[in-house]
C-alpha cells in the first residue's frame, strides 16, 4: 500500500473552509487532519467543535482528529459527534491512557496516541496492541510551519520494530514539518501516514503536491 496522506486543515484559509475542504475532496488525500489546540496543553488555540462539524459537513474524506488538549476524555464524545473517524490523544495528557483508548474505541472511532518529540516510543510497549495509530510528533506541537526534528527517523524505526514484534496493526503517522525531502526517508523508515500542513497549503498546486507525496 502506498503512503497515506493527511493534509492538516490548520494551514488552510479559514475564511474559505468549504472551498479548502472541497479541494481536499478532489485530491488523493486519505484523511483530513484536524488539529485541536486548547491554549493549555499547547501554547496556541486553533479551533473547536463547530469548525470541526463544518469541515465534516463538506468532507468526503475521514477526519483524523488530533487532540492537543488537557484531559481529552471530556471531549471524546463531542468530537465523535462532530465527525471524527480517528481520534488521537497525547500520551502526555492522559493519566489513564488505557481507559481513554478504550473509550475512543467504544465510541466507534479508531484510537490513536500522539507522542511529543521528547517522549520515548518504548512507553507504548504495554498498549501498542490496542492502538490503531501512533502519531509521532516531528515538531513540538502547537504551531504549523515548524522545522522537522531529524531524531524522528530513529523513533520511526524503533516504533516499527515494536509494532512488528507485538503483532499490533497500528499505523505510524508523522506530524510536523513533513516535506518532499524528508517524506521518502520517513516512508523508508516505516511511516504509513504523513501529515502535511504548510507544505501542501503553501504550494501553488496543493492537489499536485498531495499527488507527489502519494507517489513516493
**Residue pair 29/57 in contact by the 8 Å Cβ criterion:** no
Query: From the candidates 38, 64, 132, 175, which is the catalytic residue?
Result: 175
Closest residue to ligand DX5, Cβ-based?
A: 197
Q: How many CB atoms lie within 10 A of CB 141?
A: 22
**Residue pair 109/75 in contact by the 8 Å Cβ criterion:** no
Q: Residues 144, 71, 40, CA angle at the centre, nearest 5°?
A: 45
Residue number, 168 or 209, with CB nearest to ligand DX5:
209
Residue number, 178 or 204, with CB nearest to Zn ion:
178
30 catalytically annotated: no
Strand 193-196 versus strand 133-137 pairing type:
unpaired
Residues in contact with ligand DX5 by the rule CB under 6 A: 8, 10-11, 33, 35, 66, 139, 141-146, 175-178, 195-199
Backbone angles phi, psi at 68, to 5 degrees: -100, 65
71 catalytically annotated: no
Closest residue to Zn ion, Cβ-based?
A: 66
Residue number, 56 or 90, with CB nearest to ligand DX5:
90
Query: From the candidates 35, 38, 64, 132, which is the catalytic residue?
Result: 35
Residue 206 C-beta: closest distance to ligand DX5, Å: 12
Q: Which residues define the annotated binding site for substrate?
A: 8, 66, 142-145, 175-177
Contact partner, 62, from ligand DX5, Zn ion, none, Cβ < 5-8 Å per class: none
Place of cell 510528533: 137
Q: Which residues define the annotated binding site for a divalent metal cation?
A: 33, 35, 66, 175
Residue 179 C-beta: closest distance to ligand DX5, Å: 8
Query: With DSSP H G I counted as helix, E B as strand and the rest as coil, what are the percentages for the chain, rounded to 5?
Result: 40, 20, 35
Buried b (16+ CB within 10 A) or exposed e, 187-214: bebbbbbbbbbbbbbeeeebeebbebbb
CA-CA distance, 111 to 133, in Å (whole number)?
Answer: 6
Residue 199 C-beta: closest distance to ligand DX5, Å: 6
Contact partner, 155, from ligand DX5, Zn ion, none, Cβ < 5-8 Å per class: none
Contact partner, 110, from ligand DX5, Zn ion, none, Cβ < 5-8 Å per class: none
| Residues involved in catalysis | 35, 175
Amino acid at each position: 500500500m502506498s503512503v497515506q496522506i493527511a493534509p492538516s486543515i490548520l494551514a488552510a484559509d479559514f475564511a474559505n473552509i468549504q472551498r479548502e475542504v472541497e479541494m481536499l475532496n478532489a485530491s488523493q488525500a486519505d484523511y483530513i487532519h484536524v488539529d485541536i489546540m486548547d491554549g493549555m496543553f499547547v501554547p496556541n488555540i486553533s479551533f473547536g467543535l463547530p469548525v470541526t462539524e463544518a469541515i465534516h459537513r463538506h468532507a468526503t474524506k475521514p477526519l483524523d482528529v488530533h487532540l492537543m488538549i488537557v484531559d481529552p476524555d471530556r471531549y471524546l464524545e463531542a468530537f465523535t459527534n462532530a465527525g471524527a473517524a480517528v481520534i488521537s490523544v497525547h500520551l502526555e495528557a492522559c493519566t489513564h491512557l488505557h481507559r481513554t483508548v478504550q473509550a475512543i474505541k467504544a465510541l466507534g472511532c479508531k484510537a490513536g496516541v500522539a507522542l511529543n518529540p521528547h517522549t520515548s516510543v518504548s512507553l507504548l510497549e504495554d498498549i501498542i496492541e490496542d492502538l490503531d495509530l501512533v502519531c509521532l510528533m516531528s515538531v513540538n506541537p502547537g504551531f504549523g510551519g515548524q522545522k522537522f526534528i531529524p531524531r524522528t527517523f530513529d523513533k520511526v524505526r524503533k516504533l516499527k520494530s515494536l509494532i512488528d514484534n507485538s503483532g499490533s496493526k497500528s499505523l505510524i503517522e508523522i506530524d510536523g514539518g513533513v516535506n518532499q525531502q524528508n517524506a521518502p526517508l520517513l516512508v523508508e523508515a516505516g511511516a504509513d501516514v504523513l501529515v502535511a500542513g504548510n507544505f501542501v497549503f503553501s504550494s501553488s498546486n496543493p492537489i499536485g503536491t498531495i499527488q507527489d507525496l502519494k507517489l513516493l
